Structure 1
Amino acid sequence: MMHLSAYLNYLHHERNLAPTTIKTYQRLLNQAAQQLSDTLITTTALQNYLNQLHQQGLIAQSLNQHRAALKGYFHWRQQQGHHPHNPATNLRIAKVSQHSLPKTLTPEEISELLPTPSENDLLGIRNHAIIELFYATGLRLAELSALNHEQFHTQTTSLRIIGKGNHPRIVHIGDYARTAILRWQNKRPQWAKEDPALFISQRGQRLSHRAIQLALKRHAKIHLTGRNLHPHILRHSFASHLLQSSQDIRGVQEMLGHQQLSTTQIYTHLNHQHLSKIYDQTHPRAKRKPNNT
């Protein structure tokens, strides 16, 4: 697409978007450019492109990302005088279906994930603290990876996080997570005293995003057979369980660092599923399949 480099510079310097967000936009727009290279850019052409992605199996959430990338790019083009109008303004996508809702763990599965590791299991103590912190705060992978050792001390009950788009927020840390982190900190100095990172590798270096993902996957293979574990499942579980307990969607929005309430509202679908399941199982007038006699 024309002027893509200039647009990415605009996202970085004027919109102050996070590098990971900019890379996502770059990837999506490059993909669109390859498919639309010989096509006159119109609303119909862009809608056909999204329809094709849907036919290929992309879920509504992914299609939303594509639409947002196109809409933002052509809005910028219009502002710059390169395009008379924004052809992506009225693009439509399928509604979020039950199949595209984020996967979550049950509270019982969370408990299975978090047995107390032995004093000699240094990696177990580290991974235990990582999982406790993910589930206690709903942090994104990049946010947790960026944490530093000095941010935590015995009395720490909350953290100031700089999230997507350099937007700050406060996350609160419960007793379980704080205890797990302090236990890890008591072991951490034996490995590396110079690196400021809270979570480090066996080489004493800050854990990369990929290293954290692999650590969770290995941990789940041992403690939660049959379930694939990644940071976003813990983030989704945090949000879903908190919303079920508090019914405060605005509070959950703030804790997750969502700029739009509509992003958080997907968890109300999960909550309704939970309530529906309870109703079907317990209410005396709930519809049940008749027994064959």
Structure 2
Amino acid sequence: MDDAALVGRYLEYQRVERRLAARTLALYRGDLEKLQAFAQAAQVALAQVHGAHVRRWVAQMHAGGRSGRGIALILSGWRGFYAWLGREGRVAANPVQDVRAPKAGKPLPKALSVDDAVQLAEFAGEADDPWLEARDAAMVELLYGAGLRVAELTGLDVAPGPQALGWVDLDAGEAHVLGKGSKRRSVPIGHAAGQALRAWLALRGSGTALNPALFIGRHGTRLTQQAIRQRLRRRSRQAGLATPVHPHMLRHSFASHVLQSSGDLRAVQELLGHANIATTQVYTRLDFQHLARAYDAAHPRARRKNP
């Protein structure tokens, strides 16, 4: 039986026995057509393919720009085909069994440009509700100005206490937070964040005996992480930003902008509370992207000449 007939029988098996949808079958067919093309170019029958062939084809796909995830999906389809051939007694071993796709590169964290971050921080909304405006402005300033995680933000109390996870010391200009792994750290909050917090505390009310939380809702309960995400997404839309902003995006923006200005990776590591410097190094890639964009925009040798 030739290769085309083998593939046809396998797809029929998938359609009848496994009752796969037409779209899924079309994806299987496309993956197997790639396999046939590789095998024909190598002048080898599908039943004669070895692991070395498959590894070479994986390398070719990767060099051609195929993502690790895309290659993994293709290999999954090939692996199923050869498993079926094995059950049919047509191959002694599955040549795809021990072949793995290249590891997918970790996506870069999403960070705002400096202009967008400042636009959000300086935005004044909720003019008809000064209480809500003061609270949300203070949250933005702490997330962007101190690089806090949203869990660290929700854990802040107005003042230190035996049950406090974190608190803000306005006189010292510091936020004391409980980060991942129950590790405490202190971070500077900056002048703008200090001003925003003072404005919020002046309107917040004095009911700390009932709830010591720094950020509360209308009913006096501590704000949840979900509520903060919703408020921030709403505020970023109101501020005219093209991308909805989430709390961790402001943390990424804080780290990227500090690194762009200082070049001090160790300092950024301490500010973020990363246990491992390798976690912080992702921001060097963001910093390089920033430099590359600046080069493309400004350097005369970077711009293409009009034909």
Scaled to the shorter chain, the TM-score interval is 0.5 to 0.7
Structure 1 position 147 matched with structure 2 position 163: no
Please list, as runs of the form range in 1=range in 2, the aligned pairs for 1:1-293 lying within 5 A after superposition. 54-55=69-70, 93-96=103-106, 100-113=107-120, 114-116=122-124, 118=127, 120-150=129-159, 151-152=167-168, 154-189=170-205, 194-284=210-300, 286-292=301-307
The answer (yes or no) to whether the contact 2:116–2:241 under 8 Å persists in 1 is: no
Deviations 1:65-108 (A, max 9, x none): xxxxxxxxxxxxxxxxxxxxxxxxxx972233xxx211111121
Q: Is the 8 A contact 2:215 2:222 kept in 1?
A: yes
Q: String of CA shifts for 1:100-121, please: whole Å, max 9, x gaps.
A: 2111111211222122455842
Q: What is the identity percentage for the equivalent residue pairs of Structure 1 and Structure 2?
A: 40
Give per-residue Cα distances to partners, 1:216-263, cap 9 Å, x unaligned.
Answer: 011112113432110010000000000000000011011111111111
Q: Give the drift of 1:159.
A: 2.3
Structure 2: 5+ residue runs without aligned partners? 1-67, 74-100, 160-166
Q: Report SS of the residue matched to 2:205.
A: helix
User: How many Å separate the matches in 1 of 2:72 and 2:220?
Assistant: 42
> Which residue in 1 is equivalent to 2:84?
none
Amino acid at match of 1:290: K
Residues 269-288 of structure 1 show CA distances to partners (whole Å, capped at 9, x for unaligned) of 1101111111222223x232
Q: Secondary structure at the match of 1:215?
A: helix
| TM-score normalised to structure 2 length | 0.61
Larger Rg over CA atoms? 2
C-alpha contact 2:169 2:175 (8 A) present in aligned 1: no
Please, what is the CA RMSD of the aligned residues?
2.6
- Give the TM-score, by structure 1 length: 0.64
Partner secondary structure for residue 152 of structure 1: strand
Deviations 1:20-74 (Å, cap 9, x if unpaired)?
xxxxxxxxxxxxxxxxxxxxxxxxxxxxxxxxx934999xxxxxxxxxxxxxxxx
Q: Do the aligned partners of residues 182 and 193 (structure 1) sit closer, same or farther apart at CA in structure 2, a change above 3 Å counting? A: farther
* Structure 1 pair 122–263 and aligned structure 2 pair: CA distance change class (3 A): same
Whether the aligned pair in 2 keeps the contact of 1:153 and 1:182 (CA below 8 Å) is: no
Q: CA deviation at 1:195?
A: 0.7
